[in-house]
Amino acid sequence: MKWYKTKAFYLFIPSFLFLLIPMYGLVQAFIQSLSTDGALTFEFYQRLFESDRFLASLGFSLQTAFTSSLLSLVIGVLLTRSCYQLLESYAPRLIVWLPMLFPHFVWGYMVILLLSESGVLSQLLQVTGVLSDSGGLPTLTRDASGLGIIITYVWKEVPFVILMLLPVYASIKPEYYDLVKNLGGNSFRQFTSVEWPHILPVMIETFLIIFSFTLSAYEVPALLGTTFPEMVSVLSYDWFYGSSWDDRPLAFAAMISISLIILVLTLLSYLLLSKRQWKAMRGRLK
């Protein structure tokens, strides 16, 4: 009640008004995915999960989103812990965060220009004699395994991971490292004892942000993906703007399913962090 009486409460009003629009769209999509001719039905969800095309798309989407998010997180952690002292300077930080200034589809086009069969890398390898023709280069764009999509998101999201982790590493006191060294701990022990407890909550939060965005994004999968299997976002777009009106409720059902997956992962992460904080509090009380 005391918090309610402060002026800080009014700061939530713009956020609430801004969220009304996406929340209205989410509620309307949920209603239309469960109704036909004004009657409640689960027909569209049944058709959805009986569709081999959707199941293949869902598996491909989860695999691609999880792989790109995990790689971005691992690379970001390694770069941050290795170079965070260097990144305290303005110029190196500007170089690292430069990819964040451009939209995702720009980096998608960059991947095509660099890594396609007729791209810059292929031309350089042919000029240097490494490849005899463009057919010798592995397919890295518009491939069924989603390598082009993964490369684009890793390239784009690693700077975001560094942005999230850099303040955490800057806040860790050097005395903690000295203590582990004096007790005979190696660099791995320093990471597990000093860094890991500090960065774990931020890592989970960052992973959820990247995973949720990658799983539901459209432009990069549409640019670099194949016709089968496609990401759920691309499949939902095809169903929504396709020639058959009967497929529109399937598009709503597909995106509601993705929203539920993200919601469940967020809830599990919250419970995990809350349990960890509760254990830490009990340890302090003891």
pLDDT per residue over 45-90, tens digit each? 888 888 888 899 999 999 999 999 999 999 999 988 888 777 777 7
User: Which is it for strands 39-40 and 35-36: parallel, antiparallel or unpaired?
Assistant: antiparallel
Q: Give residue 227's pLDDT.
A: 77
Q: Are 214 and 233 in contact (CB under 8 A)?
A: no
**Which stretches in the chain have pLDDT values below 70?**
1-9, 37-38, 130-137, 243, 275-286
Does some domain include residue 2? no
Does some domain include residue 218? yes
- Residue 196 is part of a domain; what is its CATH number? 1.10.3720.10
Does some domain include residue 130? yes
Does some domain include residue 160? yes
Separation of CA 125 from chain center: 32
Q: Are 227 and 235 in contact (CB under 8 A)?
A: no
Does some domain include residue 182? yes
Does some domain include residue 30? no
Give the largest CA-CA distance in the chain.
74
Residue-number span of the structural domain to which 131 is assigned: 47-279
Token duo for residue 41: 């039905």
CA distance 246 to 85: 57
Does some domain include residue 245? yes
Does some domain include residue 19? no
Domain count, the chain: 1
Q: Give residue 68's pLDDT.
A: 93
- Give the bridge partners for 35, in sequence order: 40
The alpha-helical segments, DSSP class H, found in 86-146 are 90-96, 104-115, 120-127
Q: Give residue 285's pLDDT.
A: 39
Q: Give residue 133's pLDDT.
A: 67
